[in-house]
Chain A
Amino acid sequence: AQKITQTQPGMFVQEKEAVTLDCTYDTSDQSYGLFWYKQPSSGEMIFLIYQGSYDEQNATEGRYSLNFQKARKSANLVISASQLGDSAMYFCAMRGFAGGTSYGKLTFGQGTILTVHP
C-alpha cells in the first residue's frame, strides 16, 4: 500500500519569497513516481512537476523544483519568487510500479492550501 502525507494544512508566504510545501511518502515499491498538482479556486487540477525514484537530479520546472530526499522518503515542492496567482491548494501524489500492477493509479495526500500575501 502507498501513503502520502502532507502535514501542512495551510501555508502563508509573502509575494516574491520562496516557500516549501512538505510531502512525505511511504511505499514498498522499488520504482515509483512523485507528482505535484495545483488546484486553484476554480477547481481544475494542474500538473506541476514530476520526479522519478531513480532520477539522480531533483526535478525543476520554471519556478517549481522538487526537493527529493529518497532516504527520508520526502518530496517537497519549492516555489521560488511566489506570485499572487500561486494561491491555491497543492497536492502531492505518487504512483508505484510493482511489476506493472499499479496500472497508473495515483495516491494523493490531503493537500496544502497556500496563500500568497502582497
Chain B
Amino acid sequence: NAGVTQTPKFQVLKTGQSMTLQCAQDMNHNSMYWYRQDPGMGLRLIYYSASEGTTDKGEVPNGYNVSRLNKREFSLRLESAAPSQTSVYFCASTLDASGFYEQYFGPGTRLTVT
C-alpha cells in the first residue's frame, strides 16, 4: 500500500516549457487535490476532483490544467511554465469529499522554472 505517489520528485524547466505532474493513489479514494506551497505561505489549492469524472478550480488555477484519468490518477499540467510557478506541488486524496476525512498527501514535487 503505497498511499499517494507523485512523479517526478524534482524538475527544472525553462520558461515556456510544458510538463505534467503525475499523481496516483491506491487507497480507493474518491476525491483528489493539487496544492502548491510557496515559501512563507501555507498550501493553496490549485484544482480538485471531488469524484471520478469531475474537476474544478481551486484558489490559484491560472496557468494549470488537470485531468482525472481514472479513480486512481490525477495529473496536473503546466502548458507554458513561468518563474512564478516555481513551487513545491503536493497531491492529496481523501476518501470522500462529503465527509470530514483526513487528506493523505504525496511526497511533493519540487519544481523550479528558470
Contacts and interface: CB of A to CB of B under 8 A. Distances in A.
Interface of A: 4, 33, 35, 37, 43-45, 47, 50, 52, 91, 93, 95, 97, 100, 102-111
B42 interface: yes
B13 interface: no
B111 interface: no
Interface of B: 31, 33, 35, 40-45, 48, 50, 56, 58, 88, 90, 92, 94, 96-98, 100-105, 107-108, 110
Nearest to B108: A43
Given A45-B90, A103-B56, A35 B102 contact: yes
A104 B42 contact: no
Given A4-B42, A109-B42, A104 B102 contact: no
Given A104-B33, A106-B43, A95 B100 contact: yes
Nearest to A52: B100
A91 B44 CA distance: 12
Nearest to B31: A104
Contact of B100 (A45, A50, A100, A109): A50
A101 to B, nearest CB: 10
A104 B96 contact: yes
B107 A108 contact: no
Given A44-B107, A44-B108, A104-B31, 4 more contacts: A45-B105, A104-B48, A105-B33, A105-B58
